[in-house]
Amino acid sequence: MISGALAGLIHGTVNFAIVEPYLDQAIGIENQNLFASGEEEDTQEFWVEYEGYRMWQKSGQILAGVILGTSIGALFGIVFALSRNSLPGNHDVKKSLVLAGVMWFTLYLIPFLKYPANPPTVGDTETVVLRAILYLSFIAISGFGALAFYKLSKKFKNNKKLVSLIGYGVFITAVFFAMPENPDEINAPMTLVNEFRLMSVLGVSSFWISIGFLLGLFWNRFESHKESIPYT
């Protein structure tokens, strides 16, 4: 959990540096829409209140990074503890980085390709629950699918293990096309959306690299059940 919290802190800080400018840009569009519709007035009071609110939200980004990191760190710790002996590599850092790569791919990248991150202004409040269910379902299907095919691979020997990898590929491709699309229209400039998505991927990737490195390091440093077997 400590490695997760630290990785989350890194994630939040990276986001603060590279994602926030795009969030500000998108929220700027929302503000212009509010002025145009007459819901808000473009006054000095508005901007003073807005700046204070945004600073609060930006600080919340760091806090949320630590909470999310601790949360995913808990899951990562469980999976690492249960799978460590099966992971390739002769060092805990290598093993942990391999697992982080697998989880980044199955729990983040594949769901992201189906339901990519969107900046503010994209996303209807009325559909947020549906979108949350779809996103969470796809993550769960991908994660449990990977686990099931990994279990299957244990029954195969050597080069036949590739069969389970291909099996997961076929399975997740079928799920990818079977799952409903995001119901919301994109009504923000595509340049902004695409650049935001790229920064989002970089931010989340920084988290998985960090947690893979940190957990392996901590595990190697603090594990009390390690047996050293010197041989000549």
Partner 1 sequence: MSHSKIETSNNFKTPIFAILVLGIIFAAGLFIVGFDQGHIFSLVYGEQAFTDLYIHELTHDMRHAAGFPCH
51 binding partner 1? (CB under 8 A): no
17 binding partner 1? (CB under 8 A): no
191 binding partner 1? (CB under 8 A): no
- One residue of 28, 52, 60, 169 binding partner 1 per CB under 8 A: 60
Q: Residues of 2-11 as b/e, b for ≥16 C-beta within 10 angstroms? A: ebbbbbbbbb
216 binding partner 1? (CB under 8 A): no
183 binding partner 1? (CB under 8 A): no
CA dihedral 204, 207, 209, 210 (to 10 degrees): 170
**Binding string, 79-108, against partner 1, x = CB under 8 A?**
--xx-xx----x-x---------------x
Place of tokens 């923000």: 188
Beta carbons within 8 Å of 170's beta carbon, 6+ residues apart? none
Cβ-in-10-Å burial (0-12, 13-18, 19+) of 87 comes to middle
Q: Is residue 13 within 8 Å of 213, Cβ to Cβ?
A: no
Place of tokens 């893979």: 212
Neighbours of 148 (CB within 10 A): 14
Nearer to partner 1, 113 or 165 (CB): 113
166 binding partner 1? (CB under 8 A): no
Binding site for partner 1 (CB under 8 A): 1, 11-12, 15, 19-20, 23, 56-58, 60-61, 63-65, 67-68, 70-72, 74-75, 77-78, 81-82, 84-85, 90, 92, 108, 111-112, 115-120, 123-125, 128-129, 131-132, 134-136, 196, 199-200, 203-204, 223, 225-232
